[in-house]
Structure 1
Amino acid sequence: MKSFITAWLGFGSFALAAVPGFDISHYQASVDFASAYSSGARFVIIKATEGTTYKDPSFSSHYNGATSAGLIRGGYHFAHPDTSSGAAQANYFLANGGGWSGDGITLPGMLDLEGDCAGLSTSAMVSWIKDFSDTYHSKTGRYPLLYTNPSWWSSCTGGSSAFVNTSPLVLARYSSSAGTPPGGWPYYTIWQFNDAYKYGGDSDTFNGDIAGLRKLASG
């Protein structure tokens, strides 16, 4: 799995290389993908689904716009662990924009883990994430990116290190430094560092160079 990520093992402000990117949903009705690309952005993560009933109404237009602008792109799924199994939600995500193909411009799908702990114990939450992750892997050959913040990961999984060797970490921390990653991950793969990207959505950075980003997309 580590070969999917990058050889650059930088931490926070000490990262040896970085590639700008961003993430969006229907809350960003208008996104200037071409200007984002011109400014240096090379990837975008786009909301596709929630639970097993919700499809983001802007997903297709955003995805097409990102593709036309030359951005590496992928979808994300907002988890609702209290409503259905991880497998059911992974399958819904896969059927509605969250798939992966080795075309070199598609990121593995991302599982968005935030909010409360949905009434699950830490062990039950780890099992739920594993159910989602293993289902996604069985259908695509890739493990999903996992988006979380240190507080949520500690509270809801007990700081589990169960995914360190499978899923790349997308770290949400709005600060000038990424700090220490949660869950035993030695480094983040993507860091979301603010919610005010100039061209729409949240600001992200990939922890590596463009070759590493392409490797993540290619498998």
Structure 2
Amino acid sequence: MTWSVPQNLADGKYSFRIVSLQNGKEVDRWVDFTVKNTPFSISAGSASASTIDPAKDSKLSCTFTLSKAATCSVQVWSTTSFVGYVANNQSFSAGSNSVTWSVPQNLADGKYSFRIVSLQNGKEVDRWVDFTVKSSTLSISNTSTSVSSVNASTAGNKISLSFKISQAANCSVEMWSSSKFLGYAVQNQNYAAGSYNVSWTVPQYLAQGKYSFRIVATKDGKTIDKWVDFQVTGSYSPYLQGTYFTLAQSETRQLYTVVKTTSSIWSEAVSWSSSNNAVASVSGGMVTAKAVGTANITAVDKYGNAATCRIDVVSAGKHRMVDLSYANSNINFAQLKASGVDYVMLRACYSYPGSTESDSKYIDSNFDKYINEATAAGLKVGVYHFSYALNAEEADKEADFLIRILDKYKDKITLPVAYDLEYNSYWTNNGLHPSAMGNAKFKETMTEFARRYLAKIRAAGYKPMIYASSSFYNSFIDAGAVGAHDKWIAHYDVLAPSVSGADMWQYSSEGTPAGAPYKVDSGRVDMNIVYKDY
């Protein structure tokens, strides 16, 4: 007979007893044997490879032999810490056994071990099987951003970057616009091999466009990098408050970078440059016009976003002049004078009062104040009348009205008295427009208005003048038919007016001379050059 020996049988002397009952009496025989357990052991441990590259080797096997069946765990350790289990409290048979480990791709280089361990009689029995991890190359992989685009119109918005490095390395994460380094999200940090996440707070008002994280990893003198792009969106972006200005020689103008839709001054630091310093120089946004010609003034913010403004510099003529009306408030004439402005044209009135209306309704609200303050500051003053006449008789009435209100200021007026002829909605609504009456008839009408008006101004002892745009004057005023007069011509975005013999040129409506309060989107005045002495 054969006995199945229990595997947990303790060492010692044992016996088979063969027994039989004969005539009510036991007959037996004892056969002795000894149990002596062979000690439990784990042997013949080996790894399927002594060195692995996580980028290439996804599996690693460990083979070991047990002296008897047992419950075992197979662990993985680095030289300093537990990495994980390959098997945890699993039953293994006596003899040869094998387990396979899925190698993490982010495993750092170094010495590692399988530890096969079993608890026997309250005591751990183990065996260590060593192997080495050595990545063949330093690499950056698994890159992604938390969002593909981020809105910069709200303060505090963040974007996160995820990435993995194959080996322990010194890493930085840089931020770039399409052309310029912006700063660091992470700088010179030592990372073990593995996956990481960093975040960047997007500056409010950062200009729209393409931006990038640049991951830079360095190990053993070797540096690699990886670019990860994203978009910045939002309605805010910096720009110059104008794309074109005309300045007379020696005139200055402060340029500002502002934020679209809010018109508030952009607070980020910018650098300034001029494409032609001989024509116009710039320092801190202050442009100084030097010589006749064109220069491009460029502002670049710290993110690399650029905005450009074209500056045309025109001849200074003999005098600098501004023209003012109710639309220009809080003018300091002493400062205007000190800035080099020595002539001023003031709007005196518009249209004319009806028989039951007071003159004050049609007199410019700033006229009385400004003519007294301007002359007190030493500026020479002229006036203009904005026409709403619909026929020649009304042009006569406009001239009579102006002469009447100028009577008490006659000794203060040393510049011409101008008739302001330009398109307006009142004319258009009443059919006084080339599109309604034809160019020839409209020219005949405008010439007659000017002839009659200027004759009255001349007879009253003033120097008569016509104010009009260059296109209006050239198209609709018969200069020979209106009688002797000076010409005050408005023509922007050119280096000289296109009307021959202009005496005054209104070259810009964007003036910001000292003495004229300035805001980003308001407070500008008309700037003029005067070519003769009055």
**TM-score category, normalised to shorter length:** 0.7 to 0.9
Match of 1:166 in 2: 484
Write the distance in 1 (CA, Å) between the matches of 2:314 and 2:326: 33
Match of 2:468 among 148, 157, 165: 148
Q: Which has the higher strand share?
A: 2
Match of 2:321 among 5, 14, 21: 21
**Alignment deviations for residues 106-129 of structure 1 (CA, whole Å, 9 cap, x no partner):** 212111111156346321221111
Are residue 49 (structure 1) and residue 329 (structure 2) matched? no
Closer/same/farther in 2, CA of residues 128 and 164 from structure 1, 3 Å limit: closer
What is the rounded CA distance, in whole Å, between the counterparts of 1:42 and 1:155 in structure 2? Answer: 31
Give per-residue Cα distances to partners, 1:80-130, cap 9 Å, x unaligned.
1216522211110111237885x5862121111111563463212211110
Paired with 2:408 and 2:333, the residues of 1 have a C-alpha distance of: 21
Could you tell me which residue of structure 2 aligns to residue 125 of structure 1? 446
2:527 paired residue number: 203
Deviation string for 1:25-73 (max 9, x for gaps)? Answer: 0111211211110011111000011110311011000111101110000
| 1:23–1:98 distance in 2 versus 1, CA, 3 Å | farther
**Alpha-carbon distance change, 163 to 16 in structure 1, aligned in 2, over 3 angstroms:** farther
Residue 164 of structure 1, CA deviation = 7.9
- The 3 A distance-change label for structure 1 pair 27 and 163 is farther
SS of residue paired to 2:381: strand
The alignment status of 1:177 with 2:498, answered yes or no, reads no
Residue 15 of structure 1, CA deviation:
5.4
Q: Distance in 2 between matches of 1:163 and 1:47?
A: 26
> Residues 48 and 98 of structure 1 are in contact (CA less than 8 Å); yes or no, is this contact kept in structure 2?
no
Q: Match of 2:400?
A: 91
Question: Residue 16 of structure 1: CA displacement?
Answer: 8.1
Moved more, 90-99 or 55-64: 90-99
* Percent of aligned positions that are identical: 22
Secondary structure, in 3 states, of the residue corresponding to 2:406? coil
Q: Which residue of 2 aligns with 1:3?
A: none
**Unaligned 5+ residue runs, structure 2?**
1-312, 354-361, 434-440, 517-523
Larger helix share, 1 or 2: 1
Task: Give the TM-score normalised by the residue count of structure 2.
Answer: 0.33
How does the TM-score come out when normalised to structure 1?
A: 0.77
Q: Residues 45 and 81 of structure 1: is their aligned pair in 2 closer, same or farther, counting only changes over 3 Å?
A: same
Q: Does 1:61 align with 2:362?
A: no
| Structure of larger gyration radius | 2
Range moving further from structure 2, 105-114 or 66-75: 105-114
- Structure 1 residues 98 and 125, CA, compared in 2 at 3 Å: closer, same or farther? farther
| Two-structure CA RMSD over aligned residues (Å) | 2.6
